[in-house]
Structure 1
Amino acid sequence: MSSDGDTDVEDVPRKRRKGVEKENLTPSPESQDRQDRKRTQTSSRTNNKKARVEQSQRESLSQPGASVSVASHSGITPGKIVRVRLNNFMCHNNLLFTFGDKVNFISGKNGSGKSAILTALVLGLGGRTSDTNRGSSLAKLIKNGENRGSIEITISNTGIRSHDPDKYGNEITVVRNISDRSSTYRLMSDKGKVVSNKRMELNSILMSFNIQVNNPVSILNQDTARTFLKTATPKELYNLFRKGTLIDEIEEKLSELQTRKLPQIRSLLKRKELANSASVQDLLEYKKKWRSTQSWSRLRMRYTS
């Protein structure tokens, strides 16, 4: 600025240049139209691709034995249920349901088989029929007109809390076959190899992952939700609390420990004590014989020298 307050001559071109630069940054109408057309084409391609994927999913779900997928299950922690397959179970003749990572919602009309999936999870993981409020006969849950059915549940087995990964790999599949007369278990690896068919091994797996199929806090069936919480007495609510917090199960295991395990442990310790005592006696006897031998050797050397 000059002393009289006027603008210097050199400042005018600089301001004009700034104005020119700002004008040059503004896109022309033709360029703006090209950008708008490009965005419209990209959005159209995305929508068409999404529509094709949705149509493909609808077509696959309309086929017999369709797979219902909720979400991707990448990065699942050990013990999470990955999928369940039902064959001739209740109203399902062949259903594959794949669970998502987080919360899963199953919707459908009455009688479509929503609660059948929950019942299958309880029974497939070793639960009793009475735990599901579906009567007392497992055979009655076989689909009408069939004489056998099966429940197949796949559990994630990755991470540091995995159960015997050398045998099972990244997934454990529990198969419960149901017939008119009995039911059997098969525990399979991620390669499809049968690792065990014993219920004790299934209990060990459930304990490793802290899965409690008969815990009312974990699984609340519709009959309990409809009636129990409204009409239950304080005593029944307290029993529900004890069962939900595993107090009953802990007391049962402590009782079993006191009545069966402790006598076995005492008997084993007694046998070990007796064995150790016999070993000590043998050692003392050997030591006595060794000293006697040393004494005879010294006497012989004294009289023969």
Structure 2
Amino acid sequence: PSIMKKRRSCVLNAVKPCKTPRTEGKTCVQDEEGVDEEEEAQQDHQLSSSSVGDIGVIENITLKNFMSHHLLGPFSFGPNVNFIVGNNGSGKSAILTALIVGLGGKATTTNRGASFKDFVKYGESAADVQVKLKNRGKEAYKIETYGDSICIEHHITSDGCRTCKIKNKSGLVVSTKKEELTAILDHFNIQVDNPVSILNQEMSKQFLHSKNETDKYKFFMKATLLEQMKRDYIHIKQTKAVTRDQVERQEECLKDLRQLFLQKKERYESLSSFDDMRRTLEDLKQKMAWCLVGEMECRVEQLKEQIEQEESHCKHEEKLELCQNKVVASEKKLQEIQQKICRATEELDGSTEESRTLKEEMKVKSKAQNNQEVIYFSAENKLKQLEKEQCLVRERILKINHSGRSHEAEQTQRLKKISALRKQLEELEAESSLLNQEIKDKQQALLKGREEYDKLR
């Protein structure tokens, strides 16, 4: 089908009138007799080159575990007519059946099985069919995505499930959807269920042995696509009726919308001065806001004055209360002081006699204290003299101890002196300790006398 389509397009291109450039003041008219030999040769070359299909042509097919064959292919096909010959069971029908399956046909279309699981080789779990189609030229299908060829792979399991992968020239999976495969077949004008495109052995037998005109007419309608066109025409007619009903309903709605539009338009035109009114409203709002601000400021000033007056009044009242409290407290203190004075005068009157006796005792004790002080100072002086004498005696002893033993007589005398001095030193130390103890006693007595004197004062 693709070859026929390509040829039709080439023939149409060949009979199109050629455009020639215009010259000044002249027009060039071309008819059939004015065709040059070069143009005829060019058209013949175009027709010969266009006979080679660029899209929708089968490049190769590969079968694996399909029907009774473990591996068939890849079979590469030429761009024109191809003949597959071989003995019975060599795989001719398998290739034709695989072509139908690989291009998305139904299992019943092949007349070789009722389900896809019937195409899996006995003893195997799955079968694979790979069909590669050409995709070159201006009419190529998604040339940026697929490239120069489109590979369609079908994987059939023994359960009857079939999955499809559509790959580009590099082997990358582009899609796995049936809609994409249908779009490719429609673009290439490939009809799997059309007996003119694919005519298997059973279909040819039925056609040759059929004597019923009805079956032949059905075959004719199917082969020439008239049946498909009839279905499409019926569908278009139904769609047209539905669309017409929708258009009528929408026209009624459109009338209502037009009336509504006119109403809105009139209202909009009547509100042409809306912007001016809005600006005026904004100005009035601002003025009103400033008026409110002025009123509030006046009220605030009045409130401030009232607050200051109240605060000054409150301060005077607080000061008055403080003064009154101070006067009351002063009066209380004055009463307490007067009471204390009265008590003190009474006590003073009652204690004059005692004070006289205490004064006399104080005089006596002061004399005794003076005597004790005299004794204390004399004992202290005597102690200092004894300490000096003690130091002198120690120095003499040291001198005697350091002097040599030249004379025994002097030594004996010195020993005697030393012993005498030691005794004298011991006596002085004993006397010093006694004086120290006496001084301490006198100091304590003096302190007691001072305390009593202070108490009497």
TM-score higher than 0.5 here?
A: yes
Report if aligned partners of 2:53, 2:80 keep a CA contact under 8 Å in 1. Answer: no
CA distance in 2: counterparts of 1:273 and 1:234, whole angstroms: 51
- The aligned residue for residue 190 of structure 1 is 169
1:92 deviates by 2.4
Cα offset, 1:256, TM superposition: 3.0
SS in 2 for 1:293: coil
Structure 1 residues 125 and 268, CA, compared in 2 at 3 Å: closer, same or farther? farther
Task: Write out per-residue CA displacement over residues 60-83 of structure 1, whole angstroms, 9 at most, x where no aligned residue.
Answer: xxxxxxxxxxxxxxx641111111
Partners of 1:280 and 1:208 lie apart in 2 by 47
| Residues 1:212 and 2:194 aligned together | no
* Letter in structure 2 aligned against 1:137: S
1:268, distance to aligned residue in structure 2 (A): 8.6
- The answer to whether residue 160 in structure 2 is matched with residue 181 in structure 1 is yes
Which residue of 142, 152, 156 corresponds with 2:134?
156
Does residue 256 of structure 2 align to residue 285 of structure 1?
no
- Structure with greater helix share of residues: 2
- Whether 1:167 and 2:134 are equivalent positions in the alignment is no
Is 1:241 aligned to 2:220, yes or no?
Answer: yes
What residue identity is the alignment partner of 1:211? I
What are the superposed Cα offsets for residues 69-115 of structure 1, whole Å, 9 maximum, x if unpaired? Answer: xxxxxx64111111111111112222211111211111111011111
AA aligned to 2:201 is Q
Unaligned 5+ residue runs, structure 1? 1-74
Deviation at 1:211, TM superposition (A): 0.4
- Partner deviation per Cα, 1:186-234 (whole Å, 9 max, x = no partner): 1111121222111121111111111011111122211232343133311
Which position in structure 2 is the counterpart of 1:79?
56
CA distance in 1, matches of 2:172, 2:155: 16
Residues 157-166 or 114-123, more deviating: 157-166
- Structure 2: which 5+ residue stretches go unaligned? 1-51, 281-457
Which has the higher Rg, Structure 1 or Structure 2?
2
Q: TM-score, normalised by structure 2?
A: 0.44
Per-residue CA distance 1:267-299 (angstroms, 9 max, x = gap): 59967995897598458625632442338959x
Task: Give the whole-Å Cα distance in 1 for the aligned partners of 2:168 and 2:247.
Answer: 36
1:92 to 51, 69, 77: 69
SS of aligned partner of 1:201: helix
1:236, distance to aligned residue in structure 2 (A): 1.0
Which deviates further from its counterpart, 86-95 or 116-125? 86-95
Q: From 89, 101, 119, give the equivalent of 1:111.
A: 89
Letter in 2 for 1:79: G
SS at 1:140 equivalent: helix
**3-state DSSP of counterpart to 1:207:** helix
- Determine the C-alpha separation between the residues in 1 that align with 2:244 and 2:150: 33
RMSD of Structure 2 on Structure 1 (CA):
3.2
Corresponding residue of 1:18: none
Q: Which moved more, 1:160-169 or 1:220-229?
A: 220-229
Alignment of 1:246-265 (within 5 A): 246-259=225-238, 263=242
Aligned residue for 1:131?
109
Matched residue of 2:150: which SS?
strand
Q: In structure 2, the residue corresponding to 1:86 is in which secondary structure?
A: strand
Distance 1:93 1:276 in 2: 71
Query: Which amino acid in 2 is paired with 1:216?
Result: P
Call closer, same or farther: CA 1:280–1:217 in 2, change over 3 Å. same
2:84 partner amino acid: I
- Is this contact kept in 1: 2:115–2:160, CA < 8 A? no
Write out per-residue CA displacement over residues 16-72 of structure 1, whole angstroms, 9 at most, x where no aligned residue.
xxxxxxxxxxxxxxxxxxxxxxxxxxxxxxxxxxxxxxxxxxxxxxxxxxxxxxxxx
Offset of residue 255 of structure 1: 2.7
Deviations 1:236-279 (A, max 9, x none): 11111011011111122233334468637865996799589759
1:221 partner letter: N
The alpha carbon displacement at 1:176 in A equals: 1.4
Contact 2:154 2:162 in 1 (8 A): yes
Instruction: Name the stretch that deviates more: 154-163 or 255-264.
Output: 255-264
Q: Call closer, same or farther: CA 1:199–1:279 in 2, change over 3 Å.
A: farther
Task: Check if 1:232 corresponds to 2:211.
Answer: yes
Indicate how the Cα distance of structure 1 residues 199 and 259 shifts in structure 2: closer, same or farther if over 3 A, else same: farther
* Distance in 2 separating the partners of 1:132 and 1:219: 10
Give SS of 1:87's match: strand
Match of 1:201 in 2: 180
CA distance in 2, matches of 1:168, 1:135: 32
Deviations 1:103-153 (A, max 9, x none): 111111101111110111111111112111113111111111112111111
TM-score, length of structure 1 as denominator length: 0.65
Cα distance in structure 2, aligned partners of 1:265 and 1:175: 43
CA contact (8 A) 2:116 2:160 kept: no
